[in-house]
Chains A and B, each alone.
Chain A
Amino acid sequence: MKTTSSIVSILNDPIIIRRRHWRMLKDKLAKHAMTIGGISIIFCILLIFFYLLYVVWPLLLPAQMQVLHTLKVPAPTAGETVFLATEEQGEIGVRFTSKGHAVFFSLKNGAIISDNALAPAEATVTSFAAADPAGSVVAFGLNDGRMIVVKRVFDVSYPKNVRVIAPRLEYPLGKDPLRVDDHGKALTRLGVQVGEETHTVAAVTEDNRLVVTQLKKESSFLEESETLQRSSGELSLQQSQITHLRLEKEQRRLYMADQEGYIWQVSLQESTAPQIVHQVRVVGPQDQITSLEFLTEDISLLVGDSQGHITQWFLKRDANNNQILTKVREFDGQKAAITAIAPEERRKSFAAADKTGQVGIYHTTANRTVLITSASDSAIPQMVFAPRGNLLLVEDDAGNVLTWKVRNDHPEVSWSGLWQKVWYENYENPEYIWQSSASTNDFEPKFSLMPLAFGTLKAAFYAMLIAVPIAVLGAIYTAYFMAPRMRKIVKPTIEIMAALPTVVLGFLAGLWLAPAMEDYLVGMFTLLIGLPIGVLCFAVMWHYLPKGIRYHIPGGWEAALLIPVILFISWLSITLSHPLEVWLFGGNIRHWITTELGMRFDQRNALVVGIAMGMAVIPNIFSISEDAVFSVPKHLTVGSLALGATPWQTMTRVVILTASPGIFSAVMIGMGRAVGETMIVLMATGNTPVMEWNVFEGLRTLAANIAVEMPEAEVNSTHFRILFLSGLVLFIFTFFFNTLAEVVRQRLRRKYSSL
């Protein structure tokens, strides 16, 4: 008893107890630390997924609008508003009126900054026109056939680090009214564009003539001064009642809308002789055109009708090579007559207001109705976007000027825009196109993911076409027929192949294989056909060899025996390649493919990618399917052989059937790898986003596209988020295939252990 108590007393020694507590604490701490570490793996996966989603999410959000300021129309005595505008910062607005005034006012409180009367005292204003918004020029047409052109200018200065914006007016064509109509009739409709070298004015007069006046700058070297050379022409419009006149900023054609719902296309190729090219009815039989505007860059026309439909039209060549206005798409979000259309200055978005005070925001390329909301209780005759597209200035019939803040970050994206054919401006037909940026400003970004998804699948398809047979057949042989000693060498060799950096494979594919294959294309194909035939011939020969020689080499070494055979066949194909090319294809198979088969031929094509990426995928598929075949329980195969089946029969009827889920999961994993592989595709293809199954043409995959464009994408722009979206698509795609493969493999493992 004494010993026990002494042990107990030692164990109860305070130092020991403290130490024991400390050890237990450490144990607990370790446990928690490990648990946290383990769970954080799941957290990592979730983090990647949710972060990608977090970046992509804003693409899916609708636009938001909220009222910032509501004002009474400033200086109402100056006349009705014919045009509203604001500047970059959205602090100061300007109202051009029917009496020829320009009223600058603060958007915050409605305080009038200046009220400028522009029309000369002897004349009255009869029409108004706004030129391209980037130039900030407007014009008033007068009742004596003259007009005044003014430009609004906002001077920004920073005295004491505070931004001060001072508005003023400039007269780009001189302060005196300019003569437009030589007969001095009142101008009822007006269109104007002021360019670098040429200015054009088009007007409809009260006696129904279309008058076009062009002013060309002519600089004389002697006096170093510039004079304006005036030329003009006219056209009778008979009885038509023109309601809208829009002159495009290139000054080559103008469009007029009439009371009957027709749009007239007038060519100004010869400024002295305007010519009606054609007329087209753009609204239903009972409806009228109530609003007509250019979409930014003046390629498309937006037509609003009395039913609330908005349609987009642009010129398309018809069978006779004439450019005809064609309806491209329609927006039916609004129900009452469209009273105003406000295009955004820098994107292909626009806003439309109707008679009931509803405002809709749309994007043409994406064919998307971004938002429809009620902006006022009464009709909205005037509406304009701020240059940055973040403010919408609205004047309603109740005499209010409302400033709406618009949050519309990514209108360019819609399901149909990403995955369906889109009819882009200046294209003949709807198409799938990926073109995220261009050198010019008047550019419509084309974000169709279809060519990229197609390229991804095409590359993966050709890679699998090459990798699956080689890897799976090789795995079957290695696991089942091969001699163990040889297997010990083969397996690590193929594992090494898996470790080869893809950048090296891609580099060899792009700089060595692609030119070599172009050179020896015929040899490639003879090799493809010759290899199985040659191997079979050798097998037959081997079968008929005297037994003495045959038994000298034990079974399971066939692969080693084939090394010289395959080397010989390869050598033969390469050597015969050029003579065969001369003999069969006139010495130039590239030429033959392009002319006889009508296929494009790129040096870096899908076949090169298929072979290179096949090389990258073979080891993955090989090692997993080899494992699956090798771990098929021995008693199954032994039983089959004992019942008299040949080894091959055992293979096909027993082993493959049992191992098929494993082989399936191997193929899935290989597929996942092929889909996401970046460097090989980047280097071995021309990275052209085309949609052709042609083996001899290049492609661009989602992954390569990210690698190419991500460094240049502006952070948080639509382009940036779409690249993240393609990352997310890749993530989900591979996640799906890998999970599938993993589940199948775990099932298989359980099945084997029960056998």
Chain B
Amino acid sequence: MKHWWNSGEPWIWLTAASVTVSILAVVSLLLLIIWQGLGHFWPASVMEAEYQDHDGKITVLGEVRGEEVVPASRLQEMGIVVKGDLVTRYLLKTGNREILGMDFRWVLAENLQQQRYPKEVIVIERREWGNFYGYLQAVKEEGKVVSEGPEAWVELQTRLDRTLTLYEEIRNISKYDIGKVNHGLEQLRLVQRRLELNNDTDPAKQQQLADERVVLQARFEELNQQLANLYQAVNRDSFSAKVMDGRVVDISLANVVKVYRPNSLSGPEKLGFYVMKFWEFVSDEPREANTEGGIFPAIFGTVIMVLIMSVMVTPFGVIAAVYLHEYAKQNFLTRTIRVAVNNLAGIPSIVYGVFGLGFFVYFIGAKIDLWFFPEALPAPTFGTPGLLWASITLALLTLPVVIVSTEEGLARIPKSIREGSLALGATKAETLWRTVIPMASPAIMTGLILAIARAAGEVAPLMLVGVVKLAPALAIDNNTPFLHLDRKFMHLGFHIYDVGFQSPNVEAGRPLVYATAFLLVTVIVVLNLAAIWIRNQLREKYKALETA
């Protein structure tokens, strides 16, 4: 034993344990995100039970969202009297925020009785006030009952389809058509302002502007009329439903996104529902201060920002790496540049944000506004955080990643290949362009992928240079110039921060945050795995070249 101890064997076990701990931490972290992120879309069964509250017996109706065992004294601190040392309690999502005042409540397991899962419970996802749980009573048109009892469910479905179609139409008109008119009016205002600034009082131009304005105004009136009609149509139907405390409430179908009966769904139906919910999550717009609905704008914003960043970072990164590896003499200057590149990678990202805000937004952006967009002032065009500045800031941030990876790729190309090309009479530039860079392209690709992964996950600098919690319009739309680099945008990472920490109803938004985190982590892990795979392929390839 003593010998064993002296040989240092225990220490080896301890070092092994630290590897195990790190690996387990990573794996359990990923599993946690996957479990919580994917679980959210599953249609949970709705439980009904009698609950002995401190003010008497009530019926509760809701989804069980969590379960925990807590020491009784901790509950007593909150003024809840319980027996025993440890108690089990459930987190129940009861929804019906406008009626009950809260979405969630903790219930003690021991006070729950007669738990049951009635088939006819309906869950309604609404445009405001969160989910509704209850029993369908009757479907109404213009306030008059048209269907009651079991048939009401079928009637509700058909009427909901009609309402949703109308709602989609409303959305299209108010978002695209009216958006286009507003954009046109704004452009006219800017043109007029520009004429004023240039002291151009040509009556012909003024007249033309006025004419165009009249046309747009007319179009606007027309669309507004259409909208008014649609709104009237959409508000036609409603239904009444009973909530858990026995009250019956009326809900307009215009407020309904989806109705389903989770307890009567079969396995495959649940699966179908799950897929549909997931699709809705990635393709829909957020509702209710981002705590419900989808995250499409955030995905879109992240993708477009990363694309613009890639366009900028790749050429610069490659040029810098080629210079360092192919052109520069290996002297003090190159060593300094290498240290500088490594430093650039080590600077905290928030410092890039500060720099981007000060230099790009307030310095360059303000100058651009002064020279090119004076008509819009004092409202800033580029002198405010936006997509362009966010992309440039992140390009600067990810530059070292591309440089290091490209240089590594260049270093792996055997000298014989360069020398062969030079011996055949090619100039250095031709050698680079025709042989070296094509061979290094997988390495460049690796660098780019890593840069994208880094940029997609970075949030701190973006908070300063252009990300917002809710962007009214996407960066690409059907108004000239189609790509709006000056717009603010939404971002997956910031979405996580915002919904998880800034939203008024954290508990309701939490599953969505997990789902968003799952999406983000999946994208980043896949990108990284791709980069690792390409790098390994590359190594194999050059090993073959070197031995050949």
Contacts and interface: CB of A to CB of B under 8 A. Distances in A.
Interface of A: 23-24, 26-27, 29-31, 33-35, 37-42, 44-45, 47-48, 51-52, 55, 469-471, 473-474, 476-478, 481-482, 490, 492-497, 499-504, 506-508, 510-512, 519, 531-532, 535-536, 538-540, 543, 558-563, 566-567, 578-579, 581-582, 586-588, 590-591, 615, 618, 622, 646-649, 651-652, 669, 672-673, 675-679, 682-683, 703, 706-707, 710-711, 715, 723-724, 727, 730-731, 734-735, 737-739, 742-743, 746
B457 A500 contact: yes
A623 to B, nearest CB: 11
A588 B86 CA distance: 11
Nearest to A729: B351
Contact of B12 (A35, A503, A511, A558): A558
Contacts of A510: 500-501
Given A567-B24, A678-B460, A682-B497, A500 B521 contact: yes
B32 A31 contact: no
Contacts of B396: 44
Contact of A703 (B77, B460, B497, B500): B460
B349 A586 contact: no
B346 interface: yes
B322 A34 contact: yes
Given A481-B12, A504-B457, A677 B73 contact: no
A615 B30 CA distance: 13
A724 B74 contact: no
Contacts of A501: 456-459, 493, 520-521, 524
- Of the listed residues B26, B328, B358, the one surrounded by the most CB atoms of chain A closer than 10 A to its CB is B358
A559 B341 CA distance: 36
A45 B457 contact: no
A506 B497 contact: yes
B26 A562 contact: no
Given A34-B327, A500-B29, A578-B69, A710 B357 contact: yes
B343 interface: yes
B353 interface: yes
B423 interface: no
B134 to A, nearest CB: 29
B429 interface: yes
B532 interface: yes
A496 B525 contact: yes
A499 B446 CA distance: 14
Contact of A494 (B23, B327, B346, B460): B23
Given A476-B15, A501-B456, A672-B346, 7 more contacts: A27-B428, A41-B341, A41-B399, A471-B18, A473-B19, A474-B18, A497-B22
A51 B343 contact: no
Interface residues of B, number: 107
- Of the listed residues A35, A476, A499, A730, the one surrounded by the most CB atoms of chain B closer than 10 A to its CB is A499
Contact of B354 (A52, A492, A519, A558): A52
A476 B430 CA distance: 45
Contact of B22 (A27, A506, A618, A742): A618
B94 to A, nearest CB: 21
Contact of A543 (B9, B450, B456, B463): B9
A651 B11 CA distance: 11
B547 interface: no
A581 B525 contact: no
Given A478-B19, A651-B8, A678 B344 contact: no
Nearest to B7: A646
A542 B23 CA distance: 22
Contact of A38 (B320, B353, B529): B320
A26 B358 contact: no
Contacts of B341: 41
9 contacts: A38-B320, A42-B340, A495-B532, A501-B493, A503-B457, A532-B14, A535-B17, A559-B19, A669-B346
B359 A47 contact: yes
A359 B247 CA distance: 77
Contact of B355 (A52, A500, A652, A742): A52
Interface string B325-358: 0111000000111111111101111111111011
Nearest to A651: B8
Interface string B445-468: 000001001101111100110000
Interface in B2-51: 4, 7-27, 29, 32-33
- Of the listed residues B10, B13, B327, B340, the one surrounded by the most CB atoms of chain A closer than 10 A to its CB is B13
Interface in B160-181: none
B85 interface: yes
Contact of A646 (B8, B26, B33, B428): B8
B32 A30 contact: no
A34 B336 contact: no
B496 interface: yes
Instruction: Tell me what chain B mostly uses at the interface: helix, strand, loop, or mixed.
Output: helix
- In the A-B complex, the 9 residue pairs with the closest CB atoms: A676-B348, A648-B8, A501-B457, A38-B323, A37-B319, A587-B73, A587-B71, A30-B429, A477-B15
Interface in B60-113: 68-74, 77, 85-86
B506 interface: yes
A511 B510 contact: yes
Nearest to B499: A507
A473 B12 CA distance: 9
A305 to B, nearest CB: 44
Contact of B323 (A35, A48, A535, A723): A35
A312 to B, nearest CB: 34
B347 A676 contact: yes
Contacts of A490: 19, 23
Contact of A470 (B18, B510, B520, B521): B18
B542 interface: no
Given A473-B15, A588-B71, A706-B350, A45 B343 contact: yes
A586 B26 contact: no
A730 B351 contact: yes
A649 B9 CA distance: 10
A672 B494 CA distance: 23
A425 B106 CA distance: 46
B344 A35 contact: no
A496 B340 CA distance: 25
A711 B344 contact: no
Given A474-B22, A499-B525, A539 B9 contact: yes
Nearest to A492: B532
Nearest to A720: B358
A675 B348 contact: yes
Given A31-B429, A507-B497, A648 B11 contact: yes
Interface in B344-389: 344, 346-355, 357-359, 362-363
Contact of A679 (B19, B352, B428, B459): B459
B190 interface: no
A707 B464 contact: yes
A507 B450 CA distance: 22
Interface string B521-535: 100110111001000
A710 B528 contact: no
B517 interface: yes
A727 B86 contact: no
A48 to B, nearest CB: 5
A26 to B, nearest CB: 5
B142 to A, nearest CB: 45
B324 interface: yes
A41 B8 contact: no
A468 to B, nearest CB: 10
Given A469-B18, A707-B460, A519 B70 contact: yes
Given A495-B532, A519-B70, A567-B24, A536 B520 contact: no
A470 B344 CA distance: 27
B513 interface: yes
Nearest to A494: B22
Contacts of A481: 12, 15-16
B483 to A, nearest CB: 25
Nearest to B352: A48
B345 to A, nearest CB: 8
